[in-house]
Chains A and B, each alone.
Chain A
Amino acid sequence: MDPLYIKLALGGIALLACIGLFFGIGLALAAHKFAVEINPKVEAVKEVLAGAQ
């Protein structure tokens, strides 16, 4: 196969991995920094309640 195609394919994988890593870390930090306390009981009650939608 043409080495150019292999280069492009590897470049694409590298790019997507970089974007994923960068934004993944960024979002994780943001979620940590801007964390909002949610009462765990709300989730527990929702679990028990019936909900089709």
Chain B
Amino acid sequence: MKNDVKAFWTLMLIIATLWIGGCEAPSFIKAAQFEETDRIVLTFAGPVDPAWAEDRDHFTVNEKPDPDILLDIASVRLSPDQSRLTLTLADPINQNQPHQVVVKEIVSEGRNMGTQAVTVSKPYFGYLISILIGALLIQNFVFSKYLGLCVFFGTSQKKSTAVGMGITFTFVIVFASLMSWFLYQFVLKPYRLDYLQIIVFIGLVSLTVQAVDTVLRKINPALFKAFGVYLVLVIANCIVIAVPLILADNEYNMIESLMLALGAGLGFLLALFLMSSVRERLDFANVPTSYRGLPIAFIVAGLFALSFMGFSGMSIF
């Protein structure tokens, strides 16, 4: 009973923190978003003066990290209802970077609303999804980066082992990359020890595998038996070391890291499942003797890689 009350208040505290964290000071500019490749659309809370909007000097746009470099504005257009303003820039916008728009001396219905600044960035949730789908399909670690091939060919003979390996792998990679993200951000980077990152990450992966092995053996023997030898095989997989290195390079935050790790794990699971489905059927197919076994598997993997190239260059959100 006492625990329930405690849990309830902890939950309320988390909700309150999130709620307060999500609040913003009221602003006359209601929304700002990117449109197409070179436009920023501002939505105001009320109609603004067309004469004021015509003067291009009232607007400045810059990438948030470089406030000194102002971007050239090609045209400013006000919508008929006077509350939506489209800024067209001379060059395409790098939408991965948040941009700052300063709007000076806004005039609305004869009243001066003062100078206001807004930050335009891609929708964050969409960005997270695009990391996940990117690692899962578009930049699939097996089929477009050619990583982890030894385990991929070793465990894709039967559907059951393939799925077992994929799930174990997803499990381990999420744990290991979150741990290495934490260690990189809070220990390696601040103390300038990032030259040790490969050694530390390899160590963390093997320690995670050992810990999962020890704990699972006791807690869930059935699952442990299902994982079997694959749990140890995860150490020999290079995706599990590639993901922490990518995280360290791209300076992802924790949720982004989680998404990339999840995408990599699920992508490997998908690759294993597809491959094992084909290889189960290949056993009954009439394959020339010299191609039987591994050679035909490599050819099939190449065909899969070709078909995954169809995803390349795609961007979501």
Seen from chain A, the residues whose Cβ lies within 8 Å of a Cβ on chain B are: 8, 11-12, 15-16, 19-20, 23, 26-27, 30-31, 34-36
Q: Which residue of B lies closest to A38 (CB)?
A: B217
Residues of B within 8 A of A36 (CB): 217-218, 221
In the assembled complex, B69 has its CB within 8 A of some CB on chain A: no
Residues of B within 8 A of A8 (CB): 192-193, 195
Residues of B within 8 A of A23 (CB): 203, 207
Q: How far is the CA of A16 from the CA of B188 in the complex (A)?
A: 11
In the assembled complex, B219 has its CB within 8 A of some CB on chain A: yes
Assuming the contacts A34-B217, A34-B218, A36-B217, asked whether A16 and B210 have C-beta atoms less than 8 A apart, the reply is no
A-B contact count (CB 8 A): 44
| Residue in contact with A19 in the complex, picked from B200, B211, B219, CB distance below 8 Å | B200
Measured between C-beta atoms, what is the minimum distance from B191 to chain A in Å?
A: 6
Residues of A within 8 A of B204 (CB): 19
Residues of A within 8 A of B115 (CB): none
In the assembled complex, B90 has its CB within 8 A of some CB on chain A: no
In the assembled complex, B20 has its CB within 8 A of some CB on chain A: no
Assuming the contacts A19-B200, A27-B211, asked whether A34 and B219 have C-beta atoms less than 8 A apart, the reply is yes
**B215 x A30 contact (CB < 8 A):** yes
**A19 x B193 contact (CB < 8 A):** no
Assuming the contacts A26-B211, A27-B210, asked whether A11 and B218 have C-beta atoms less than 8 A apart, the reply is no
Residues of B within 8 A of A31 (CB): 214
The secondary structure that dominates the A interface is: helix
Measured between C-beta atoms, what is the minimum distance from A46 to chain B in Å?
A: 16
In the assembled complex, B14 has its CB within 8 A of some CB on chain A: no
Q: How far is the CA of A31 from the CA of B210 in the complex (A)?
A: 10
Residues of B within 8 A of A26 (CB): 211
**B215 x A34 contact (CB < 8 A):** yes
Measured between C-beta atoms, what is the minimum distance from B65 to chain A in Å?
A: 28
Q: What 1/0 mask marks residues of chain B from 162 to 194 whose CB sits below 8 Å from any chain A CB?
A: 000000000000000000000100011001110
In the assembled complex, B255 has its CB within 8 A of some CB on chain A: no
**A15 x B196 contact (CB < 8 A):** yes
**A15 x B215 contact (CB < 8 A):** no
Q: What 1/0 mask marks residues of chain B from 224 to 238 whose CB sits below 8 Å from any chain A CB?
A: 000000000000000
Q: Which residue of A lies closest to B219 (CB)?
A: A34
Residues of B within 8 A of A20 (CB): 203
Measured between C-beta atoms, what is the minimum distance from B183 to chain A in Å?
A: 8
